[in-house]
Amino acid sequence: MRIAENIERMIEKLHDTTSAQMDERVLGDVLRALAESKKTSAPTRRKIMKSRITKLAAAAVLLLGLFTLSKYLISGGTPRHTEQTHMATARQDENQREVTRHQVLLERELETAKQLFERQDLAGLLQLLRAGQDLTKMWVAEYLGQIGDGSVLSALQIFAKQWQGSEQDNPFQEAIGAIQERQAKPEPQATASRQEPNEPQAPPEESQTGVAGIVIDKNTARPIHGAQVGFSPTETLATDAEGQFMLTYTEPYEEASVYVKASGYASRKIVVRMKTGSIQYITIELSPGSKLVGIVTDPNGYPIQGAKVEVANLTYLVLCPVTDAEGLFEIDGLDPVVDSYIVLVMHPMYPGVLVSLPPAPAGQKQYQEIVLKPGVVVFGKVTNSQGTPISGVTVGNTRSGAMWNCLRAETDEKGMYRLGIVEVGELVLWATHGRYAPFVKTTVLAGAQAERRIDIQLKDARTLHGRVIDSDGDPIPEATVTISEYNGVTNLDRRRHSCDSDGRFAIPNAPTDGELDLRVFGKGITGKAHKVDLGQDECLIVVSRSGRIYGKVVDATTNEPITKFVVKMTFSQVGPRTSGYSATWADEGHTFDSPEGLFDTGREDLPVNGQYRMTVHAEGFDPLTLDPVVVQPVSEDLNRTLFRLQRATIFAGRVIASDGQPIKGATLVFFSNGNVQERESWPRAVTDKAGIFTISGLGSEPQCLFVSAADFTPRAYLMTDLLEAPGLLVDIVLDRAANLVGRVVDENCKGIVNAHVHAFVDLGRARDVLTRFPNLGPSIHTDKDGYYQLSGVPTGQVQVSVMSAQNYEIGHKKVNLEPGDSMELNFGD
């Protein structure tokens, strides 16, 4: 036995490598064969196969083949041939099943295309054009041609170029022709977003309202040709060869969102403050983006087609794909600087799945396998306390108590409801109706059942009377009141109840017991949830009046106003924490263009005397943060907060390896207390081939610096420690990075999929100035067998932690690593 094992080991040692001549010969022939196969690709073949003559010929050949085969079998084949025939039959069956599966998928796709066409859903049709089967693509092209919208031209042009058949049969070219023909006809109200991409644009007329500008690469400052820019994620036009664009604005709002995307770059959304009758000129910088590539399968590993993959927590534009026949999807334009993003996968036959993922580094792809598990169909009957069925009741489910991903259904005339596929596990079921008290029930769904009946009995409602007043006791007329939360479920009833001139309101479908929160909306007041004591006859809601922050931005040296600037706002870090502002203030900020350097918080309902942290950015100046800035009542007598901006300081430095060689392409990110939690807004610099970087606009707060480069150990510094002279940093020396490989297993030694392995970079002296410590360092997810391979790991004593996909800690280890080390580090063993 031992010898046998040795022989096995010896066989394992057999290893042959191909010679350079063989590689050359084989690759040459392989690539030629691939190119030849291109000439006889599927669409052309399909066209040939569709002809009647071919079908007749095929039938004749098939009959002849069957005749020969039967004759041969009758005459008696050898056992080997019989064996081969059995195997061939099995293969045929398998192929037949595959063909049938494809036909079913094709029929579904064509039906979807038809429905999208009827709804004129351009985004949906474009997704199908990208993800559908060849035949579906041709149908979609025809539909797009019929719709005649110019925004799809660039997509059609890509497919037209890939067409392998004869040019006169090219369906994509036909669709392009149809659209162009339609566009040639004058349209009375044509807008810029319907223009031909890359078409030379006329100089903007002064009476127009809009945005014009240039899209450039943030690192190289080169214009980006063909970037898609628009006021909506789906209606965009392409920038010209100089990266320029012009958008005409027809909406009545003061602020407009401009969506920008380009292949290989992180997509962005920018908020621009519009001025009627004038064109705003902006420069949009795009940083290199990353991609997410993945596969969606069922628990048996079979690919799932038609699953919609969305990236949830992004403020910028990312087109969401649908998985193809192999379950594959690809999302481009992700920002590699964010901590993580949430990927939501939805399919009509499975409960949705939500995965939190860290992005891949810039220019790289991240691979992710997502498994959709079967769910349970929940149905039942809704009756009143007398057992009479109630129609028109809205029934839904939630898990976290929030409504963003719930399923909803309405009861029919027999009081029956049927929810779609609900995730196995805890189920929070709720129901609302205008004449009955809201209903909330928590239960558990077992995975073994395909369907579960849950009947609901609605209690009679009580009318809840109340009054809305401000802190001075004055009533708030015209305010509206809504149920914001009942027994832990938010926004289950969206009905709004108006207040009269005395601030009084009545909610006819209030519950008699349980925990109820109300929310008040109205002009000049701040929105906030108010808990209601259901034991009282009338509830009194005291709301705060809202105000604004008024500011003025000037050059600190000359005291002259700065006309163009961006204002960002977050909660105060020194005063009481107050929310109530829209996410744009914290994310991208609002752009202002004022000859007097003035700004205010506009329509935001901020509470009077509320305190916020405000940062003003202007080109050529260091950003300035003031905290706290106090909200004032809306009045004529303004007391503006003055923002005195200093001229920008430029810092320069060099990143080198321990052998003194410059490191090209090292990324440096700068952060401080002001932006430590807004990783997306951290200023970045990349070293050139001499290892040199420059950065400006860092602000007056103590700055920290994080350096990373491929194959080198990442490090964090306090910037003052690196200052050699004003604006000049000492050389940053990086050692070779270490590598970690290993496996994460559960208590049964089974690999844990999608566990998050993170090697932390020590913040060092940066800890002395920071109030919050960001997690820095490389991280990766384990594969389906629980294995991981992490490169770019810092050296010295390194902490490595592993978190599960559900965010609980699996393990935490400290290891000592030398430059260039490769270590095996397992968790859970």
Partner 1 sequence: MLEDKLLVLKCRHGSKDAMCRIYQKYKDYLLTLAKGLLGEQAEAEDVVHDVFVSFARSARQFQLTGSLRNYLATCVRNLARDKIRSRIRKAEAADLVNPIPDSSWTDNPEQRVVEDEEIKRLRQALSLIPYEQREAVILHVKGGMKFKEIAKLQGVSVSTINGRYRYGLDKLRSLLNSEIQK
- Per CB under 8 A, residues contacting partner 1 are 3-4, 7-8, 10-18, 22-23, 25-27, 29-31, 33-38, 41-42, 83-84, 86-87, 98, 162, 293-295, 324, 326, 328, 367, 369, 784
CB of 303 to partner 1, least distance (A): 8
When the beta carbons of 230 and 294 are compared against partner 1, the nearer one is 294
When the beta carbons of 14 and 574 are compared against partner 1, the nearer one is 14
DSSP for 309-346?
EEE-S-SS--PPPB--TTSEEEEEEE-TTSS-EEEEEE
Largest CA distance in the chain: 108
Please give the Cα distance from 495 to 593 (Å, whole number): 39
CB of 13 to partner 1, least distance (A): 6
When the beta carbons of 92 and 471 are compared against partner 1, the nearer one is 92
CB of 297 to partner 1, least distance (A): 10
CB of 108 to partner 1, least distance (A): 18
CB of 14 to partner 1, least distance (A): 6
Q: Residue 623 CB: number of other CB atoms within 10 A?
A: 24
When the beta carbons of 31 and 642 are compared against partner 1, the nearer one is 31
When the beta carbons of 363 and 633 are compared against partner 1, the nearer one is 363
When the beta carbons of 42 and 652 are compared against partner 1, the nearer one is 42
When the beta carbons of 26 and 241 are compared against partner 1, the nearer one is 26
HEC states along 123-175? HHHHHHHHHCCHHHHHHHHHHHHHHCCHHHHHHHHHHHHHCCCCHHHCHHHHH
| Nearby residues of 19 by Cβ (< 8 Å), 6 or more positions away | none
625 three-class SS: strand
| Nearby residues of 695 by Cβ (< 8 Å), 6 or more positions away | 650, 651, 668, 670, 683, 685
CB of 161 to partner 1, least distance (A): 12
CB of 218 to partner 1, least distance (A): 27
Q: Which of 310, 315, 312 is nearest to 296 (CA)?
A: 310
Please give the Cα distance from 428 to 440 (Å, whole number): 7
Q: Which two tokens stand for residue 707?
A: 């350096």
When the beta carbons of 34 and 74 are compared against partner 1, the nearer one is 34
When the beta carbons of 98 and 500 are compared against partner 1, the nearer one is 98
CB of 37 to partner 1, least distance (A): 5
CB of 358 to partner 1, least distance (A): 18
Helix or strand run (H / E) with residue 29: helix 20-39
When the beta carbons of 49 and 241 are compared against partner 1, the nearer one is 49
Single-letter amino acid code for the residue at 586: A
Do residues 760 and 801 lie in contact, with contact meaning Cβ atoms separated by under 8 Å?
yes
CB of 780 to partner 1, least distance (A): 15
When the beta carbons of 4 and 221 are compared against partner 1, the nearer one is 4
Do residues 291 and 360 lie in contact, with contact meaning Cβ atoms separated by under 8 Å?
yes
Chain centroid to CA 306: 18
CB of 345 to partner 1, least distance (A): 15
When the beta carbons of 2 and 52 are compared against partner 1, the nearer one is 2
Please give the Cα distance from 525 to 505 (Å, whole number): 16
CB of 33 to partner 1, least distance (A): 4
Do residues 581 and 536 lie in contact, with contact meaning Cβ atoms separated by under 8 Å?
no
Q: What is the DSSP letter of 705?
A: E
Rounded to the nearest 10°, the torsion over CA 395, 400, 405, 409 is -10
Say whether the peptide bond before residue 628 is cis (omega within 30 degrees of 0): yes
Please give the Cα distance from 800 to 796 (Å, whole number): 12
Sign of the Cα torsion 133, 134, 137, 138 reads: negative
